[in-house]
Amino acid sequence: MSTVDLHTLTGAYALGALSGPEAGEFARHLAQCPACAQEVRELKETAARLALAVAEVPPAGLRERVMTALPEVRQLPPIQPATPVIPLTRRLRRRLPHLVAAACLVLAAVAGGLAVDARHQADQERARTARAEAQASVLNALMAAPDATFHTAALKGGGSATVVASKTIGRAAFVYHQLPELPGGKVYQLWYSRSGSMVPAGLVQTGRASGALLLTGGVGGADGVGVTTEPPGGSARPTSAPLGLLGV
């Protein structure tokens, strides 16, 4: 493997994606190449921040709610203390099957509603997990891309951000840290800057001061990524001055 080839493997080495022989050869190269060694250290730090940023914690008590809602089938009836037997009147005996049937219908409706609610919550959790895994996969690919670029800047009003982009993959990610909470339900909105026009590229999730998200749409033709504050739900075009403009 040539020295030029080795210089392009910093991202893959930082993510542990090289095979044993390749990793050994690259490790020997690092001992003689300060530039690659510095780049690997920076990539590992950024990868750790990205992993923490996309990690999602399930809502508290979700497992307990789902397990409680699932129908239970007892193998044996619960042991009950002995109670005195009260003779049934003839009229009550005639009505008893109808009362039992009505009670069964009520119980079935309640149990069915709980089961549907549990399945709905489980489906939502699986969908959110799938989205997080897909996002993490693309972020890892961006990190390992030979042409990956990293542009970091402080934002006006507080916080900082990094744009990770790869024109080979055609995607970009926005990693943000310590963004101040906005008043009045406003949101942080991202924009691709293309030939002087600002194209919507996604909204930062509210309630999270730090995190990461993939920008909507491809990075092709963009010369930068802008950040503005917008009304709830975002805007079709910027309504405020940019808090920052980062390169791609």
Q: What is the pLDDT of residues 4-14, one digit of tens each?
A: 467 777 777 76
Single-letter amino acid code for the residue at 103: A
Range of the domain at 153: 149-246
CA atoms of 141 and 167, how far apart (whole Å): 12
At 18, which CATH number?
A: 1.10.10.1320
**In the prediction, which pLDDT does 142 show?**
78
Indicate if 237 and 176 belong to the same structural domain: yes
Indicate if 120 and 204 belong to the same structural domain: no
Indicate if 129 and 191 belong to the same structural domain: no
Q: Can you tell me whether residue 37 is helix, strand or coil? A: helix
43 within 8 A of 10, measured Cβ to Cβ: yes
Establish if 85 belongs to a structural domain.
no
Indicate if 185 and 242 belong to the same structural domain: yes
> How many residues can be counted in the chain?
248
Indicate if 153 and 112 belong to the same structural domain: no
Quick: pLDDT tens for 144-170.
Answer: 788 888 888 999 999 998 898 888 889
Establish if 199 belongs to a structural domain.
yes
Establish if 86 belongs to a structural domain.
no
14 within 8 A of 44, measured Cβ to Cβ: yes
- Whether residue 190 has pLDDT greater than 80: yes
**In the prediction, which pLDDT does 15 show?**
64
Establish if 75 belongs to a structural domain.
no
CA atoms of 175 and 161, how far apart (whole Å): 6
CA atoms of 70 and 121, how far apart (whole Å): 12
Q: What does DSSP say about strands 160-166 and 149-154: parallel, antiparallel, or unpaired?
A: antiparallel
Q: How confident is the model at residue 209 (pLDDT cuts 50, 70, 90)?
A: confident
- The region of weakest confidence among 72-76, 96-100, 237-241 is 72-76
- Whether residue 75 has pLDDT greater than 60: no
Single-letter amino acid code for the residue at 38: Q
Quick: pLDDT tens for 192-206.
Answer: 999 889 999 999 988
Q: At what angle do helices 34-54 and 20-30 cross, to 10 degrees?
A: 120
Establish if 83 belongs to a structural domain.
no
Indicate if 127 and 50 belong to the same structural domain: no
Establish if 14 belongs to a structural domain.
yes
Establish if 110 belongs to a structural domain.
yes
**In the prediction, which pLDDT does 92 show?**
46
Establish if 87 belongs to a structural domain.
no
What the block records as the tokens of 109 is 């409706």
Q: How many domains does the chain have?
A: 3
121 within 8 A of 214, measured Cβ to Cβ: no
Closest-CA residue to 190 (of 246, 140, 132): 246
